[in-house]
Chain A
Amino acid sequence: VASGGGVAVPSPAAMEAAELQVGFVGAGRMAGGLARGLLRAGKVPAGSILASAPSDKNLDAWRESGCRTTHCNLEVLQESTLVFLATKPHVLPGVLQEIRPAVGPHHIIVSLVAGVTLQTLQRVLPAGTKVLRLMPNLPCVVQAGAMVFARGSGVGDNEATLLKSLLSSCGLCEEIPESYINIHTGLSGSGVAYVYLFAEALAEGAVKMGMPGSLASRIAAQTLLGAAKMMLETGEHPAKLRGDVCTPGGTTIHALHQLEKGALRATVMSAVEAATNRARDMAED
């Protein structure tokens, strides 16, 4: 199958990731995060990345990283095999109409657009187009992201495996049923903000007790990082890990009692619930 530029594009399954041409329609924060993650992991050379955006405002940073940029969405489809759709939701319908003529069976279209279902995407794009939906989170930028993706009806195991292997360079990447995507938003998309809030509060507690703020902040962050790392590496239940830290009558159990008194657990559950519900509501808009 020849692309508009006259370059023969082999099937994705046969391609090494390094030969893959990756495109981004929309060059905002999330797209930038993903691209930066891919680049830092060395999975895709900057020259293989092409991003489009209406203005240069966002594109400068991409060029600085060595990526190619354009103002023409169609060009991204023509030059790339793996195409990330990363526009704002209200812009997407117009963009889909625009790129539709250039979409072919060799493309792998991955939508990052919040609230737009696979059903919608498949309805607008040519029948049989390989479409996936991806919900990343911001720490993809530092290769510690949490990403979930759901595959559309035209997608086979090869494409799913390719995407997963590519994105694993940015953090944790799991395939899920589409219905989990909103939950992932509540848990991890927005969840990153909950953690920042908690870190800020930890540091503030330390400041109250006499520690300088910037030191407290760095230690707070490292504490969260270390605890998370232990969870991921030991695979042990967090309740068990929590117990391991609690010497009888010691400092930790006293502190935990304060957290329980404040019903922290319930509040966090409510936060995840609220964000998930909002994601669901917004999707129906």
Chain B
Amino acid sequence: AGVLAAHKITASSPDTDLPTVSGLRKMGVNFTVSNKDTVKSSDVLFLAVKPPIIPFILEEVGPDIEARHIVVSCAAGVTISSIEKKLSAFCPTPKVIRCMTNTPVIVREGATVYATGTHADVEDGKLLEQLMASVGFCTEVEEDLIDAVTGLSGSGPAYAFTALDALADGGVKMGLPRRLAVRLGAQALLGAAKMLLESEQHPGQLKDNVCSPGGATIHALHFLESGGFRSLLINAVEASCIRTRELQHVADQEKISPAAIKKTLLDKVKLESPSLSVASASKVSLFTSKSSSS
């Protein structure tokens, strides 16, 4: 989007074999295997690890977090308060923003929401909003809505891909070549989404506008309704949202089995954070160290 020059971006990962790593390198992004280096050279820090890893990362980089840092967590289900609690052991007023985005940021059609933490200023939120608005839609919400957003637009692209795959199958069944079917299906959804976003009308009205009496479309819609199409989508959003809350609950318990993290990462974390103690095989408690008094 041209909002940030590549050399101003630093990314780190312990695993350098990931395809994303070479992609980032090609873009001119600074790459390092040291999380600490990333923190030191950044003002806005995106935590883009899986939710169970967040506590580890926070423990690792905590000492290097300074007042200037804006810590943005994109981890599904991880609450602002859990992050603030962890970081306040190292920094009295950590600026934390929680955000939920989705994969189409890649094509600058992302859907992003964010909620600001206790010590994040209005300008911090606006800075994030400016960054994320360059790759799609971005708006601020109350934190308690973020799980629902995850269910809807976080997971949403997966629902769309599934629908598109099936639509293409339908096209192929009726005689279209696969490539054409995929292309047309995707364009149909893209066009419909664009119409809805640009229109004042309710989607129900827009649907009606396509359905000529006794025509092809209304016959097709009847099939969709018979299959409970709408309720399936409602179920999906609900399931994703509920699962997100479950993940948060698991993370909040701050207990994680070693099986959830690759051994290499666990060893690495132990190396860099001697204050972290690892309990016996069945579970690892993160907060047995001196920092647990926060």
Contact = CB atoms under 8 A, between A and B. Distances in A.
Interface residues of A, number: 15
9 nearest CB pairs, A to B:
A239-B204, A266-B225, A260-B231, A266-B226, A261-B231, A265-B225, A240-B202, A260-B230, A237-B205
A243 interface: yes
B293 to A, nearest CB: 37
Contacts of A239: 202-205
B204 A240 contact: yes
A30 B203 CA distance: 39
28 contacts: A237-B202, A237-B204, A237-B205, A237-B208, A239-B202, A239-B205, A240-B202, A240-B204, A243-B202, A257-B234, A260-B228, A260-B230, A260-B231, A260-B234, A261-B235, A262-B228, A262-B231, A263-B225, A263-B226, A263-B228, A263-B231, A265-B225, A265-B230, A266-B222, A266-B226, A266-B227, A266-B228, A270-B226
A59 to B, nearest CB: 41
A269 B222 contact: yes
Interface of B: 201-205, 208, 222, 225-228, 230-231, 234-235, 238
B208 A263 contact: no
Contacts of A257: 231, 234, 238
A238 interface: yes
A238 B203 CA distance: 11
A113 B195 CA distance: 46
Nearest to B205: A237
A263 to B, nearest CB: 5
B231 A240 contact: no
A238 B204 CA distance: 8
Contacts of B230: 260, 265
Contacts of B202: 237, 239-240, 243
A265 B227 CA distance: 10
A237 B205 CA distance: 7
Given A257-B231, A260-B230, A269 B225 contact: yes
Contacts of A240: 202, 204-205
A238 B234 CA distance: 19
Contacts of A260: 228, 230-231, 234
Contacts of A263: 225-228, 231
A263 B232 CA distance: 10
Contacts of B225: 263, 265-266, 269
Interface in A257-285: 257, 260-263, 265-266, 269-270, 273
